[in-house]
Amino acid sequence: MHLLTLVAAESALLPSRIQMAFTLAYHVILVPLGVAFPAYTLLMEGIGIFKKDAAAIRIARRWSVVMAVQFAVGAVTGTILSFEFGILWPKLMGRFGAALGMGFAIEGLAFFLEAIFIGIYLYGWTRLRPRTHFLLGLALPPAGVLGTVSVLATNAFMNTPGGVTLGSSGEVTSVDVLGALFTRALAYEFWHFLIAIYITAGFIVASIYAVAWLRGRRDHYQRLAFAIPFTVAALLTPVELVVGDLSARALVADQPAKFAAMEVTWKTRSHNPEVIGGLLTDSGQVNFGLSIPSFDSILIGLSPDTVAPGLTSVPATARPTIAEANITHLAFDAMVGLGSAGVALALWYFVVLMYRRRLPQSRWFYGAASLAGIGSYAAVEAGWATTEVGRQPWIVYNLMRVSDAVTSAPGAVVWSMLSVLIVVYAAFAVIAVTLLLRLAGRWREDAIDTPGAPEAGVPYGPPSERLAADAPGRVKQGISGTVQVIIAAVLALLGLGIVIALVIALSLVGLGAAARRFIGRFTRSSST
């Protein structure tokens, strides 16, 4: 009997891992649009209101429709993820749910807030005064940040568990709420991911209009819709480089095996080369890579004498396999490469902006910009692969193995569920893309001041506001102006308050820890 359950568990492990990876990778595509895109939309609406620019308002309103479509898909894929924790990894939640679940409980709150405020934002275009509408919209980015920080708190716990006391059989006996939510990895994971999705959202939106530029549509509307998101994303790329560097360095102490896998270092050593590309073999050799002598050691501790951890410093059963190490390494290289390309593109943009005092005119630039969105997405996916595959074989680092958390359902059940999911997710992609293309086609034909609603035909949000155009008196039906402003101000303040508190807390916790670690390493390596 015991052997039988063992075999069953083994066969469910592979499909469960594939299913989790597949559904997460899919959901991550929607995250930048759900979390960061509202901020760009609000920025555009703000410009529209305060500079009295009808085109900007039109852009914001159309973007909000895209936001709604992606939110509907994200709501479904997110629901599936939450169920998968039970269907695929019941033992993980049974043992660590008390700690891991807290982040998700806060995420539940954030998700709820987002759902409601996206609804209010969509309904409000014709039913609220512009300023009130804008102020209420301000609740969206904080809700997104709250959701991000809480999901990452869960992931950070899996990487650097803390804040819990474990009993004799490994069960959680007491939970220090703040300790378990704000584990060491949270600070760097949070900033790294948040900036990444803001860059991705900015670049993916801008890349649509870069393509439009290449096709000859270059009026005020198109330039505005390109320049605003592109500028913000471009400004963030160098910041991401620094934050990413801090994150990678923090891993030396926090998860040496993951760091060793990222750099395909076999034996712990000083003067460790930085290997770009290449594949690790079973014997610890790296084939085909481009090796820069001592550069890894220099990157870690600013000196070639700095000791870099190797994979063999961790027992073979507690570190990634060779294949997993190679995936981690290549994903890491892809992420760093794409990130550096993003910085180069940003540099190009700002040089032209500063010296020519206008947007770039080169087709090459817009060709590159039209790829920036896809590139950012690839970088985000590669980053997730790095952190998840690099943690193997652990689901909670050093405390619980993936194989101990997996469901005891027969593998065939999970395989069949996975195949259905792949088909349905493909259908979702077709629906969303068809819908957006159709909308884009119609929007192209509309003039900026046509009365037609950009929302018409979207199976989400307010049905249609054709009547608003037919009967302009309806607009006045809304809540009285004073009440509107009060509600908006209170909600916006609450939202902003959450974000400010989070930012302060995370900055103190994270940057303090990172700085201490960095100084500590620096003094250590210079004293030896």
Partner 1 sequence: MTTTFANLTAFVLLLTITAYSVAGGVDYGAGIWDMLAGRSPTAERARQLIDHAMAPVWEANNVWLVLAIVICWAGFPMLFQSVFASLYPLFSVALLALILRGAFFAFRHVQGGPRAQRWMGVVFGISSLLAPFFFAAALGAIASGQVAVGAPHVSVWQACFNPASISFGLVSLAATAFIGASFLVGDARRFGQADMVDYFRRRAVISTAVLIVIGTVALAVIGLENRPLLNAMLTGLGTPFAAAAVILTPVVGFLLWRRVFRWYRTLSVVVVGSLVFAWGFGQSPYLLPGQLTITQSAAPLGTEVLLSIVTLAVVVLILPSLALLVYLDQRGELESPQA
- Tally of CA atoms within 13 A in the half-sphere of 45 that contains its CB: 25
Any contact of residue 472 with partner 1 (CB under 8 A)? no
Any contact of residue 180 with partner 1 (CB under 8 A)? yes
Q: Shortest Cβ distance from residue 501 to partner 1 (Å)?
A: 13
Question: What token pair was written down for 159?
Answer: 């990487």
In the complex with partner 1, the residue whose CB is nearer, 384 or 460, is 460
Report which residue type is found at 149: V
Any contact of residue 22 with partner 1 (CB under 8 A)? no
Any contact of residue 157 with partner 1 (CB under 8 A)? no
Cα separation, 88 vs 91, in Å, equals 9
In the complex with partner 1, the residue whose CB is nearer, 36 or 172, is 172
In the complex with partner 1, the residue whose CB is nearer, 18 or 76, is 76
Of the chain, the end-to-end C-alpha distance in Å amounts to: 57
Stretch that binds partner 1, among 32-40, 189-197, 369-377, 477-485 (CB under 8 A): 477-485
Any contact of residue 419 with partner 1 (CB under 8 A)? no
In the complex with partner 1, the residue whose CB is nearer, 318 or 483, is 483
Any contact of residue 474 with partner 1 (CB under 8 A)? yes
Stretch that binds partner 1, among 83-91, 350-358, 390-398, 512-520 (CB under 8 A): 83-91
Cα separation, 27 vs 51, in Å, equals 36
Any contact of residue 87 with partner 1 (CB under 8 A)? yes
Among 494, 504, 508, 515, binds partner 1 (CB under 8 A): 494
Q: Shortest Cβ distance from residue 42 to partner 1 (Å)?
A: 17
In the complex with partner 1, the residue whose CB is nearer, 227 or 399, is 399
Rounded to 5 degrees, φ, ψ at 274 are -95, 115
**Per-residue x/- marks for partner 1, 432-451, CB under 8 A?**
--xx--x-------------
Cα separation, 24 vs 31, in Å, equals 10
Among 57, 465, 514, 521, binds partner 1 (CB under 8 A): 465
**Interface with partner 1 in residues 37-76 (CB under 8 A):** 72, 75-76
Rounded to 5 degrees, φ, ψ at 166 are -105, 140
**Per-residue x/- marks for partner 1, 284-323, CB under 8 A?**
----------------------------------------
Any contact of residue 413 with partner 1 (CB under 8 A)? yes
User: Residues 435, 69: contact at Cβ < 8 Å?
Assistant: yes
Q: Which residues contact 344 (CB under 8 A, 6 or more apart)?
A: none
Report which residue type is found at 329: H
Note every long-range contact of 512-521, with CB atoms under 8 Å and residues 24 or more positions apart, other chains counting: 513/184, 513/187, 513/250, 514/187, 514/188, 514/246, 514/250, 517/249, 517/250, 517/253, 518/246, 518/249, 521/249, 521/252, 521/300, 521/301, 521/306
Among 95, 184, 192, 521, binds partner 1 (CB under 8 A): 95
Among 217, 220, 267, 466, binds partner 1 (CB under 8 A): 466
User: Residues 16, 407: contact at Cβ < 8 Å?
Assistant: yes
What is the secondary structure of 65-104 as a DSSP string? HHHHHHHHHHHHHHHHHHHHHHHT-HHHHHHHHHHHHHHH
**Interface with partner 1 in residues 105-144 (CB under 8 A):** 105-109, 111-113, 115-117, 119-120, 123-124, 126-128, 139
Among 6, 7, 54, 82, binds partner 1 (CB under 8 A): 82
Among 60, 172, 338, 372, binds partner 1 (CB under 8 A): 172
Query: Can you give the C-alpha Rg of the chain in angstroms?
Result: 25
Among 431, 448, 499, 511, binds partner 1 (CB under 8 A): 431
Looking only at Cα atoms, what is the longest distance across the chain?
A: 79
In the complex with partner 1, the residue whose CB is nearer, 94 or 512, is 94
